[in-house]
Amino acid sequence: MSELAKRLNERRLSAYNEAKAIVDRAGDENRAFTGEEEQTWTRLNDEIDTIDERVKNVLAMEKRAKDADTAMFGGAPRKGDGSPAGNPDQDLADQFRKLAAGEIRNIDVAMPSAFERRQLSGGVENRSLIKSGAPVPTTFIGQLYNYLVDTSTMRATNPTVYTTSSGENLTVPISTAEGTATWTAENVALTPSDPTLSSVTLGSFKVGKSIFISYELLQDTGFDLLGFISQHAGRNIGIAVDQAYVAGAGGTRPEGFLVNAGLQTTSMGTGTVNGFVAGVTQADTLYDAFHGVLPQYRPRGSWLMHDTTIKAARKLKDTTGQYLWQPALTAGVPDTLLGRPVYADPNMEQFGATGRKVIAFGDFGGYFIRDVTPLRFERSDDFKFDTDMVSFRVLYRTDGKLGDTQAIRVLTTLT
């Protein structure tokens, strides 16, 4: 980690401690925030959010610099003439240069292996477990996938991801009720107790992004076509699929986990400032959510909530006066609430009315995402011919559905 990232992280901790002191002072005096304290609290929270974004950008820049350095001096195998020997990254870059020059009209690129991923081939499942922080190739598709994940919070919560090479319906078997093991005496038959089996069907819905680039810009040797397309396509597709994974209604898009997740109607207010009912031990609300999930899911559990809800949750204490919220000590690592990571997602509902689904907690591995490879990249010189623009299109097929309804619980607001 660079000195800049370290300094930013130190400033973040300092801002957190300043905000904590304001809450402590108001709590010790058993009063609400003064107007000045509320303004300072809001400013410090905004500063923390800004620092988080800067740290993310700094770490991304450091990674890109490291990747470029490795590419130039990493000692990759070479042919006798000094050219790369069978380098797939170089081959892909060459294909994109040909696409930009109009020599070819489309490219199909396989998705990288990231997160927990199940590769299905010939009806046989080959499952591999890969940490969510595992490095993704620094090729174009690796960059695009990084941008897609950065803008899709659901991808960061470690859902279960299946990849297939075709788009027909994928049936995933699930257990809705477990059988039981029984004790038995010698030479006595076991009592059968079968689990109750069901299935989840994942389709392949198409989402895409069109990008128009002037012909002059394509001829500019300083223009990073791969970086431009990966950034814009990855971000826009990531925003679209994240909304669907969280709150999508299904039909022509993925079905969000909020549709079928178990609801927990504990005492939560509808106010936009705090949202936690006055007179109720505020920490109890989150303890109820935490223990509303079965014990086997909690060690892999994560919190998902809107940023305004996070702002309120940062003030909460337990009965001993200890904060439930703990800031991360390492840049790029999420803060924790009751010891589990917290992720901000703009598609979670906010306080403000009865029945709002404002906080989710659980093992998001119970949410199934299906990716269909390859991604399609296509070029057209005709669509914008009269404006001398070249059209590039990125198409991606995916689906999502909550496979384990016991894995995630959602808190809703009450009057």
Q: Residue 378: its pLDDT value, please?
A: 82
Q: Residue 1: its pLDDT value, please?
A: 57
Q: Residue 386: its pLDDT value, please?
A: 86
Please tell me the distance from the alpha carbon of residue 150 to that of residue 136, in angstroms, as a whole number: 13
Q: Are residue 59 and residue 208 in the same domain, yes or no?
A: no
54-82 per-position pLDDT tens digit: 787 777 666 655 654 444 334 444 334 44
Q: Are residue 250 and residue 379 in the same domain, yes or no?
A: yes
Q: Are residue 28 and residue 109 in the same domain, yes or no?
A: no
Is the distance from CB of 172 to CB of 162 less than 8 angstroms?
Answer: yes
Domain that holds residue 57: 1-67
Q: Are residue 123 and residue 53 in the same domain, yes or no?
A: no
- Average of pLDDT values for 140-166? 81
Please tell me the distance from the alpha carbon of residue 136 to that of residue 138, in angstroms, as a whole number: 6
Q: Are residue 109 and residue 7 in the same domain, yes or no?
A: no
What type of residue is 175?
Answer: S
Angle at which helices 35-73 and 3-28 cross, to 10°: 160
Work out how many domains the chain is built from and give that number.
Answer: 2
Q: Are residue 50 and residue 166 in the same domain, yes or no?
A: no
Average pLDDT, rounded, for the chain: 77
Residue 346 CA, chain-centre distance (Å), reads 11
Specify if 356 maps to a domain: no
Q: Residue 202: its pLDDT value, please?
A: 94
Specify if 328 maps to a domain: no
Domain boundary among 43, 67, 91: 67
Q: The pTM is what? A: 0.71
Tokens 């070819």 sit on residue? 104
Residue 365: pLDDT band with limits 50, 70, 90: very high
Please tell me the distance from the alpha carbon of residue 88 to that of residue 158, in angstroms, as a whole number: 28
- For every residue of 244-290, DSSP letters joined together read HHHH-BSSSSPBPGGGTSEEE--SB---SS--BPTTS-HHHHHHHHH
307-331 per-position pLDDT tens digit: 988 988 888 887 787 888 898 877 7
Residue 380: pLDDT band with limits 50, 70, 90: confident
Q: Are residue 157 and residue 241 in the same domain, yes or no?
A: yes
Q: Are residue 107 and residue 63 in the same domain, yes or no?
A: no
Q: Are residue 116 and residue 221 in the same domain, yes or no?
A: yes
Specify if 172 maps to a domain: yes
Domain boundary among 14, 40, 67: 67
Lowest-confidence pick of 100-114, 119-133, 178-192: 119-133
**Cα–Cα separations (whole angstroms), residue 156 to 179, 343, 409:** 32, 8, 18
- Average of pLDDT values for 10-37? 85
Q: Are residue 107 and residue 203 in the same domain, yes or no?
A: yes
- Average of pLDDT values for 260-274? 60
Please tell me the distance from the alpha carbon of residue 92 to that of residue 141, in angstroms, as a whole number: 9
* Length of the chain in terms of residues written: 415
Specify if 397 maps to a domain: yes
Give the contacts of 71 (CB within 8 A, at least 6 positions apart): 89, 138
Tokens 């439930």 sit on residue? 324
Q: Are residue 209 and residue 153 in the same domain, yes or no?
A: yes
Specify if 293 maps to a domain: no
Going by the DSSP 8-state scheme, the letter that residue 166 receives in this structure is S
Q: Are residue 110 and residue 251 in the same domain, yes or no?
A: yes
Specify if 154 maps to a domain: yes
Domain boundary among 16, 46, 67: 67
HSE-CB for 122 with a 13 A CA cutoff: 1
Assign residue 130 the CATH number of its domain: 3.30.2400
Residue 220 CA, chain-centre distance (Å), reads 35
